[in-house]
Amino acid sequence: MSVLPVLLRKEFRQIFRNKSILTISLAAPIMQFIVLPLAANYEFKNIDLAVVDNDRSDLSRQMIDRITGSGYFRLVDHSASYAQAYALIESDEADLILQIPSGFERDLVREGREKVFVAVNAINGLKAGVGGAYLTAIIAGFNRSVVLDLMPTAAPAGIAVTSSGLFNPRWNYQIALIPGILAILVTMIGGMLSALNIVKEKETGTIEQINVTPIRKRDFILAKLIPFWLLANVVFTIGLVVAYLIYGIVPQGSLLLLYGFIGVYLLAVLGFGLLVSTYCTTQQQAVFVIFFFLMIFILMGGLFTPLDSMPDWARTATRFNPLTHMIEVMRLVILKASTFRDILPNLLAVAAMAVVLNVWAVLNYRKTS
Partner 1 sequence: MELAIEATDLSKWYGKEKILAVDHVSLAVKPGEIFGLIGPDGAGKTSIFRMLTTLLLPNTGTARVNGFDVVKDYLEIRDRVGYMPGRFSLYQDLTVEENLGFFATVFNTTIEENYHLIKDIYVQLEPFKKRYAGKLSGGMKQKLALCCALIHRPEVLFLDEPTTGVDPVSRKEFWEMLARLKQHGITILVATPYMDEATRCDRIALIQEGRILQVDTPAAITAAYPDRLFQVKGGSMSATLRALNKLDGIIRCYGSGEFAHVAVPATATHMEQRIKDHLLAQGLTDVVVRPAIPTIEDVFIKFTLEKKA
Q: How many Å is the Cα radius of gyration of the chain?
A: 28
Q: Please, what is the minimum distance in Å from the beta carbon of residue 300 to partner 1?
A: 36
Task: Give whichever of 10 and 319 is closer to partner 1, judged by the CB atom.
Answer: 10
Nearer to partner 1, 41 or 204 (CB): 204
Yes or no: say if 191 and 272 are a contact pair by the CB < 8 Å rule: yes
What is the DSSP secondary structure assignment for residue 191, as one 8-state letter? I
For residue 201, the minimal CB distance to partner 1 (Å) is: 9
Q: What are phi and psi of 169, to 5 degrees?
A: -55, -35
End-to-end CA distance of the chain: 24
Give the per-residue contact string, 208-237, with partner 1 (x = CB under 8 A; - = no): xx-xxxxx----------------------
Among 204, 252, 282, 284, binds partner 1 (CB under 8 A): 204
* Four-residue CA torsion sign, 51, 53, 56, 58: negative
Nearer to partner 1 by Cβ, of 197 and 358: the residue is 197
The nearest distance, CB 242 to partner 1, in angstroms, is 29
Q: Please answer whether residues 281 and 202 qualify as being in contact, where contact means their C-beta atoms are separated by less than 8 angstroms.
A: yes
CB of 344 to partner 1, least distance (A): 42
Stretch 8-47 residues interacting with partner 1 (CB under 8 A): 10, 13-14, 17-18
Q: Residues near 51 by Cβ (< 8 Å), separated by ≥ 6?
A: 64, 75, 77, 78, 79, 85, 97, 98, 99, 100
| 316 interacts with partner 1 by CB under 8 A | no
Residues near partner 1 (CB under 8 A), total: 19
Rounded-to-integer distance, Cα 156 and Cα 138, Å: 18
* Residues of the shown chain interacting with partner 1 in the complex, contacts defined by CB under 8 A: 1, 3, 6-7, 10, 13-14, 17-18, 204-206, 208-209, 211-215
